[in-house]
């Protein structure tokens, strides 16, 4: 039905199958990934730029309106801070923290989790860094409900991009 509607537009339209995608991947020695599978759909002889990093987007949410956590019976179990923003930062914002001295000295870039005290946690690619002062944080991007990161380049197998006879 969709194929027929697209054909009716008069534009060139072709249909493929998962079998064709798998055949192309194996023939060219391309590793299995969602992004590379999308590139292997349909007839082609060579894939260009397969080693480029892929942007991965994950829905993380924008916080919770609920200010009290409940236990399994519905009784209050703990209270959250009343305001979502602390010192101009909000949980989910991307920050760069430049810590000059101490045990956590260095540059930490990642998603921030705010605390009322102004001592924040930063979730980096290497893991969480706890207890970073708001004074060391610089806002990179406001939290929009999504987390972004680039995956490392996918190295094709030897002979990828060459047609097999």
pTM for the full predicted model: 0.61
d(CA 98, CA 77): 35
Give the closest residue to 138 by CA, choosing from 150, 122, 116: 122
Say what the pLDDT of residue 140 is.
Answer: 95
pLDDT for 119 beyond 50: yes
Q: Is the separation of the CB atoms in 122 and 95 below 8 Å?
A: yes
Percent above pLDDT 90 for the chain:
42
- How sure is the predictor about 164, in pLDDT bands with cuts at 50, 70 and 90? very low
More confident residue, 101 or 154: 101
Q: How far is CA 121 from the centre of its chain?
A: 19
pLDDT for 54 beyond 90: no
CATH architecture under which domain 61-144 falls: Roll (2.30)
pLDDT for 142 beyond 50: yes
What does the radius of gyration of the chain's CA atoms come to, in whole angstroms?
Answer: 24
């Amino acid at each position: 039905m969709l194929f027929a509607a697209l054909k009716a537009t008069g534009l060139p339209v072709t249909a493929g199958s998962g079998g064709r995608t798998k055949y192309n991947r194996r023939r060219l020695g391309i590793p299995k990934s969602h992004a590379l599978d999308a590139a292997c759909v349909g007839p082609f002889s060579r894939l260009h730029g397969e080693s480029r990093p892929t942007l991965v987007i994950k829905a993380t949410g924008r916080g919770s309106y609920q200010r009290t956590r409940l236990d399994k019976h519905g009784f209050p179990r703990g209270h959250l801070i009343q305001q979502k923003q602390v010192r101009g930062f909000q949980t989910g914002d991307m920050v760069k923290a430049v810590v000059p001295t101490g045990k956590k000295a260095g540059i930490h870039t990642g998603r921030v989790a705010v605390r009322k005290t102004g001592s924040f946690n930063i979730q980096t690619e290497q893991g969480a860094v706890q207890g970073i002062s708001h004074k060391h944080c610089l806002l990179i991007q406001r939290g929009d409900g999504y987390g972004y990161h680039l995956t490392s380049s996918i190295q094709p197998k030897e002979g990828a991009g060459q047609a097999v006879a």
